[in-house]
Amino acid sequence: MEKKKIIGLSCGRLNGNSEILLKEALMAAEEEGIETEMIRAMELKVKPCTGCETCTMLMAKGKESVCAIKDDDVPWILKKILLENAGFIVALPVYHLRANSYFEAIHERMLPIMFNNPHILKKNYPGAIICVGGGEPEWTPLGLTSANIFVQHAWRLVDHIQINFSGRPGSVLLYPEYIERARRLGKNMAHAMSIPIEEVVYVGDDSPVSCPVCHCDVFKIPGRLEEIFCPVCWIKGEIRPERDGLKVVWEDEKTRIPRFSEGGVSNHLDLIKGLQKRFYENQDRVKENMKRYEGYKKFVRPES
Protein backbone atom coordinates (compact mmCIF):
# COMPACT_ATOMS: atom_id res chain seq x y z
CA MET A 1 0.00 0.00 0.00
CA GLU A 2 1.39 3.40 -1.01
CA LYS A 3 2.27 5.61 1.94
CA LYS A 4 0.34 8.88 2.23
CA LYS A 5 2.43 11.99 1.50
CA ILE A 6 2.25 15.74 2.06
CA ILE A 7 4.40 18.17 0.05
CA GLY A 8 5.28 21.49 1.64
CA LEU A 9 6.19 24.58 -0.39
CA SER A 10 8.17 27.23 1.46
CA CYS A 11 8.16 30.62 -0.26
CA GLY A 12 9.96 32.53 2.48
CA ARG A 13 13.55 32.92 3.61
CA LEU A 14 15.63 29.80 4.14
CA ASN A 15 15.21 28.84 7.80
CA GLY A 16 12.92 31.84 8.20
CA ASN A 17 9.84 31.97 10.42
CA SER A 18 7.33 30.76 7.80
CA GLU A 19 9.67 27.87 6.92
CA ILE A 20 10.04 26.94 10.60
CA LEU A 21 6.26 26.75 11.01
CA LEU A 22 5.98 24.67 7.83
CA LYS A 23 8.60 22.24 9.13
CA GLU A 24 6.73 21.99 12.43
CA ALA A 25 3.50 21.17 10.58
CA LEU A 26 5.24 18.56 8.40
CA MET A 27 6.95 16.93 11.40
CA ALA A 28 3.60 16.78 13.22
CA ALA A 29 2.12 15.01 10.18
CA GLU A 30 5.05 12.58 10.16
CA GLU A 31 4.18 11.63 13.75
CA GLU A 32 0.85 10.41 12.36
CA GLY A 33 2.57 8.16 9.80
CA ILE A 34 2.51 10.58 6.84
CA GLU A 35 5.52 10.88 4.53
CA THR A 36 6.63 14.48 3.91
CA GLU A 37 8.77 16.47 1.47
CA MET A 38 9.54 20.18 1.25
CA ILE A 39 10.41 22.50 -1.64
CA ARG A 40 12.26 25.74 -0.87
CA ALA A 41 11.33 28.25 -3.57
CA MET A 42 14.09 30.70 -2.64
CA GLU A 43 16.85 28.22 -3.43
CA LEU A 44 15.41 27.55 -6.89
CA LYS A 45 15.17 29.67 -10.03
CA VAL A 46 11.79 31.40 -10.10
CA LYS A 47 10.79 33.82 -12.85
CA PRO A 48 7.52 35.81 -13.03
CA CYS A 49 4.89 35.44 -15.72
CA THR A 50 5.49 37.88 -18.58
CA GLY A 51 1.88 37.97 -19.73
CA CYS A 52 2.80 36.69 -23.19
CA GLU A 53 -0.40 34.59 -23.34
CA THR A 54 1.34 31.69 -25.10
CA CYS A 55 -0.40 29.22 -22.77
CA THR A 56 -3.91 30.65 -23.26
CA MET A 57 -3.54 31.05 -27.03
CA LEU A 58 -2.52 27.40 -27.38
CA MET A 59 -5.39 26.33 -25.13
CA ALA A 60 -7.85 28.38 -27.21
CA LYS A 61 -6.61 26.61 -30.36
CA GLY A 62 -7.13 23.19 -28.78
CA LYS A 63 -3.40 22.49 -28.54
CA GLU A 64 -1.24 21.45 -25.60
CA SER A 65 -0.65 24.48 -23.40
CA VAL A 66 2.98 25.30 -22.58
CA CYS A 67 4.75 28.15 -20.83
CA ALA A 68 7.12 30.23 -22.96
CA ILE A 69 9.60 30.47 -20.07
CA LYS A 70 11.93 27.47 -20.36
CA ASP A 71 14.91 28.31 -18.15
CA ASP A 72 13.64 28.18 -14.58
CA ASP A 73 12.25 25.70 -12.03
CA VAL A 74 8.63 26.85 -11.83
CA PRO A 75 7.24 24.15 -14.19
CA TRP A 76 8.93 21.49 -12.05
CA ILE A 77 7.52 23.01 -8.84
CA LEU A 78 4.00 23.13 -10.26
CA LYS A 79 4.08 19.60 -11.65
CA LYS A 80 5.39 18.35 -8.31
CA ILE A 81 2.72 19.95 -6.15
CA LEU A 82 -0.23 19.76 -8.57
CA LEU A 83 0.19 16.35 -10.18
CA GLU A 84 1.70 14.10 -7.51
CA ASN A 85 -0.61 12.02 -5.33
CA ALA A 86 -0.07 14.13 -2.22
CA GLY A 87 -1.56 16.67 0.11
CA PHE A 88 -0.15 20.19 0.09
CA ILE A 89 0.86 22.87 2.59
CA VAL A 90 2.17 26.24 1.42
CA ALA A 91 3.98 28.59 3.80
CA LEU A 92 4.72 32.18 2.87
CA PRO A 93 5.57 35.53 4.39
CA VAL A 94 3.37 38.59 4.14
CA TYR A 95 5.69 41.56 3.66
CA HIS A 96 3.13 44.17 2.67
CA LEU A 97 -0.53 43.22 3.12
CA ARG A 98 -0.48 40.20 0.73
CA ALA A 99 1.49 37.07 -0.16
CA ASN A 100 5.11 37.67 -1.18
CA SER A 101 6.45 37.82 -4.74
CA TYR A 102 8.06 34.35 -4.77
CA PHE A 103 4.68 32.81 -4.10
CA GLU A 104 2.89 35.00 -6.62
CA ALA A 105 5.47 34.26 -9.35
CA ILE A 106 4.79 30.54 -8.94
CA HIS A 107 1.03 30.99 -8.59
CA GLU A 108 0.67 33.05 -11.78
CA ARG A 109 2.49 30.40 -13.84
CA MET A 110 0.00 27.60 -13.06
CA LEU A 111 -2.26 28.00 -16.10
CA PRO A 112 -0.48 25.58 -18.50
CA ILE A 113 -0.64 22.78 -15.90
CA MET A 114 -4.31 23.45 -15.21
CA PHE A 115 -5.24 23.69 -18.90
CA ASN A 116 -3.56 20.33 -19.62
CA ASN A 117 -4.79 18.64 -16.43
CA PRO A 118 -8.31 19.88 -15.66
CA HIS A 119 -8.80 16.93 -13.30
CA ILE A 120 -6.95 18.90 -10.60
CA LEU A 121 -10.11 21.02 -10.24
CA LYS A 122 -11.80 17.98 -8.68
CA LYS A 123 -9.70 18.73 -5.57
CA ASN A 124 -8.81 15.14 -4.74
CA TYR A 125 -6.29 16.02 -2.01
CA PRO A 126 -6.35 18.21 1.09
CA GLY A 127 -4.45 21.47 1.37
CA ALA A 128 -3.50 24.04 4.00
CA ILE A 129 -1.88 27.49 4.22
CA ILE A 130 0.54 29.13 6.66
CA CYS A 131 1.01 32.92 6.36
CA VAL A 132 3.43 34.83 8.59
CA GLY A 133 4.12 38.55 8.88
CA GLY A 134 2.89 42.02 9.53
CA GLY A 135 2.97 42.10 13.31
CA GLU A 136 -0.66 43.29 13.46
CA PRO A 137 -3.86 42.08 11.72
CA GLU A 138 -4.34 45.35 9.83
CA TRP A 139 -1.03 44.69 8.03
CA THR A 140 -1.92 41.18 6.82
CA PRO A 141 -5.52 41.38 5.52
CA LEU A 142 -4.76 39.87 2.09
CA GLY A 143 -2.34 37.11 3.12
CA LEU A 144 -4.79 34.22 3.33
CA THR A 145 -6.96 35.76 0.61
CA SER A 146 -4.13 35.85 -1.95
CA ALA A 147 -2.87 32.39 -0.96
CA ASN A 148 -6.35 30.93 -1.34
CA ILE A 149 -6.59 32.16 -4.93
CA PHE A 150 -3.97 29.48 -5.68
CA VAL A 151 -4.99 26.75 -3.24
CA GLN A 152 -8.69 26.83 -4.14
CA HIS A 153 -7.89 25.62 -7.67
CA ALA A 154 -6.63 22.18 -6.72
CA TRP A 155 -7.02 21.26 -3.05
CA ARG A 156 -9.80 20.86 -0.52
CA LEU A 157 -8.94 23.38 2.20
CA VAL A 158 -8.51 21.77 5.62
CA ASP A 159 -6.88 24.56 7.63
CA HIS A 160 -5.18 27.91 7.24
CA ILE A 161 -3.48 30.27 9.66
CA GLN A 162 -2.34 33.87 9.56
CA ILE A 163 0.37 34.46 12.17
CA ASN A 164 0.53 38.21 12.79
CA PHE A 165 4.16 38.30 13.78
CA SER A 166 7.31 39.99 12.51
CA GLY A 167 10.88 39.26 13.54
CA ARG A 168 14.28 37.95 12.59
CA PRO A 169 14.56 34.34 11.35
CA GLY A 170 14.05 32.01 14.29
CA SER A 171 12.35 34.52 16.56
CA VAL A 172 9.02 32.71 16.08
CA LEU A 173 10.51 30.08 18.39
CA LEU A 174 9.99 32.54 21.25
CA TYR A 175 6.20 32.13 20.80
CA PRO A 176 5.19 28.55 21.70
CA GLU A 177 1.55 29.25 20.84
CA TYR A 178 2.51 29.77 17.18
CA ILE A 179 4.53 26.55 17.11
CA GLU A 180 1.62 24.65 18.63
CA ARG A 181 -0.81 26.14 16.10
CA ALA A 182 1.42 24.96 13.23
CA ARG A 183 1.51 21.50 14.81
CA ARG A 184 -2.28 21.46 14.97
CA LEU A 185 -2.43 22.36 11.28
CA GLY A 186 -0.08 19.46 10.49
CA LYS A 187 -2.20 17.05 12.56
CA ASN A 188 -5.35 18.29 10.82
CA MET A 189 -3.75 17.59 7.46
CA ALA A 190 -2.63 14.12 8.56
CA HIS A 191 -6.18 13.28 9.63
CA ALA A 192 -7.56 14.54 6.31
CA MET A 193 -5.11 12.28 4.48
CA SER A 194 -6.46 9.26 6.35
CA ILE A 195 -10.14 9.62 5.37
CA PRO A 196 -11.98 9.69 2.00
CA ILE A 197 -11.66 13.08 0.33
CA GLU A 198 -15.48 13.39 0.25
CA GLU A 199 -15.43 13.46 4.06
CA VAL A 200 -12.74 16.13 4.36
CA VAL A 201 -14.04 19.39 5.81
CA TYR A 202 -12.45 22.64 6.95
CA VAL A 203 -11.47 22.40 10.62
CA GLY A 204 -9.43 25.60 11.04
CA ASP A 205 -10.35 28.82 12.78
CA ASP A 206 -13.39 30.65 11.44
CA SER A 207 -15.47 33.75 12.11
CA PRO A 208 -19.24 34.40 11.84
CA VAL A 209 -18.67 36.20 8.51
CA SER A 210 -16.14 33.83 6.90
CA CYS A 211 -16.72 32.66 3.33
CA PRO A 212 -17.95 29.04 3.52
CA VAL A 213 -15.58 27.98 0.71
CA CYS A 214 -12.21 29.69 1.31
CA HIS A 215 -12.95 30.76 4.90
CA CYS A 216 -11.53 34.25 4.36
CA ASP A 217 -13.31 37.35 5.63
CA VAL A 218 -12.45 39.95 2.97
CA PHE A 219 -15.47 40.98 0.88
CA LYS A 220 -16.39 42.99 -2.21
CA ILE A 221 -19.48 45.18 -2.20
CA PRO A 222 -20.47 45.65 -5.86
CA GLY A 223 -23.60 47.72 -5.37
CA ARG A 224 -26.05 48.00 -2.53
CA LEU A 225 -24.53 47.65 0.90
CA GLU A 226 -26.32 44.51 2.05
CA GLU A 227 -25.02 42.47 -0.93
CA ILE A 228 -21.44 41.15 -0.75
CA PHE A 229 -19.24 38.76 -2.71
CA CYS A 230 -16.15 36.79 -1.70
CA PRO A 231 -13.41 38.12 -4.05
CA VAL A 232 -11.73 34.70 -4.11
CA CYS A 233 -14.68 32.35 -4.64
CA TRP A 234 -17.17 34.89 -6.07
CA ILE A 235 -20.06 33.54 -4.07
CA LYS A 236 -22.82 35.88 -2.98
CA GLY A 237 -24.07 36.68 0.48
CA GLU A 238 -26.11 39.25 2.35
CA ILE A 239 -25.13 41.09 5.52
CA ARG A 240 -27.89 40.94 8.11
CA PRO A 241 -27.76 42.74 11.46
CA GLU A 242 -28.43 40.68 14.56
CA ARG A 243 -28.66 41.60 18.22
CA ASP A 244 -25.06 40.59 18.91
CA GLY A 245 -23.52 41.87 15.66
CA LEU A 246 -23.58 41.16 11.92
CA LYS A 247 -24.23 37.86 10.18
CA VAL A 248 -23.64 36.88 6.54
CA VAL A 249 -26.19 34.62 4.87
CA TRP A 250 -24.61 32.93 1.86
CA GLU A 251 -26.41 31.89 -1.31
CA ASP A 252 -26.46 28.08 -1.37
CA GLU A 253 -26.42 27.64 -5.15
CA LYS A 254 -23.29 29.77 -5.67
CA THR A 255 -21.61 28.03 -2.75
CA ARG A 256 -21.90 24.73 -4.64
CA ILE A 257 -20.30 26.22 -7.79
CA PRO A 258 -17.63 28.72 -6.65
CA ARG A 259 -15.19 30.44 -8.98
CA PHE A 260 -12.57 27.67 -8.84
CA SER A 261 -14.92 24.71 -9.16
CA GLU A 262 -14.92 22.68 -12.38
CA GLY A 263 -18.02 24.52 -13.57
CA GLY A 264 -16.72 27.95 -12.58
CA VAL A 265 -13.38 27.51 -14.34
CA SER A 266 -15.04 25.96 -17.41
CA ASN A 267 -17.23 29.04 -17.83
CA HIS A 268 -14.21 31.31 -17.56
CA LEU A 269 -12.24 29.30 -20.12
CA ASP A 270 -15.11 29.63 -22.57
CA LEU A 271 -14.86 33.39 -22.12
CA ILE A 272 -11.08 33.31 -22.74
CA LYS A 273 -11.57 31.25 -25.91
CA GLY A 274 -14.09 33.78 -27.15
CA LEU A 275 -11.72 36.69 -26.52
CA GLN A 276 -8.86 34.91 -28.29
CA LYS A 277 -11.13 34.12 -31.25
CA ARG A 278 -12.09 37.78 -31.55
CA PHE A 279 -8.39 38.72 -31.65
CA TYR A 280 -7.56 36.21 -34.37
CA GLU A 281 -10.51 37.37 -36.48
CA ASN A 282 -9.33 40.99 -36.26
CA GLN A 283 -5.53 40.66 -36.37
CA ASP A 284 -5.09 43.00 -39.34
CA ARG A 285 -7.11 45.72 -37.66
CA VAL A 286 -5.16 45.35 -34.42
CA LYS A 287 -1.83 45.39 -36.29
CA GLU A 288 -2.74 48.63 -38.07
CA ASN A 289 -3.87 50.38 -34.90
CA MET A 290 -0.79 49.21 -32.97
CA LYS A 291 1.43 51.43 -35.13
CA ARG A 292 0.31 54.45 -33.10
CA TYR A 293 1.67 52.93 -29.88
CA GLU A 294 4.76 51.28 -31.33
CA GLY A 295 5.84 54.73 -32.46
CA TYR A 296 6.09 55.98 -28.89
CA LYS A 297 9.78 55.54 -27.95
CA LYS A 298 10.30 57.84 -24.98
CA PHE A 299 11.65 55.07 -22.78
CA VAL A 300 14.10 55.75 -19.95
CA ARG A 301 16.63 53.41 -18.36
CA PRO A 302 19.11 53.75 -15.52
CA GLU A 303 22.44 55.14 -16.62
CA SER A 304 25.19 52.52 -16.93
Q: Does residue 94 sit within a domain? A: yes
The pLDDT tens digits of the residues spanning 143-172 come to 999 999 999 999 999 999 999 987 888 999
Query: From residue 172, how far is each of 125, 175, 176, 252 by CA, in Å?
Result: 29, 6, 8, 40
Report whether pLDDT(183) > 70: yes
Count of domains for the chain: 1
d(CA 241, CA 251): 17
d(CA 246, CA 64): 48
User: In this prediction, what percent of the chain has a pLDDT beyond 90?
Assistant: 76
Radius of gyration, alpha carbons of the chain: 21
Relative to beta strand 35-40, strand 87-96 is: unpaired
Report whether pLDDT(29) > 90: yes
Q: Does residue 174 sit within a domain? A: yes
CATH classification of the domain holding 143: 3.40.50.360
The whole domain housing 103 covers 1-205
What integer best gives the mean pLDDT of the chain? 93
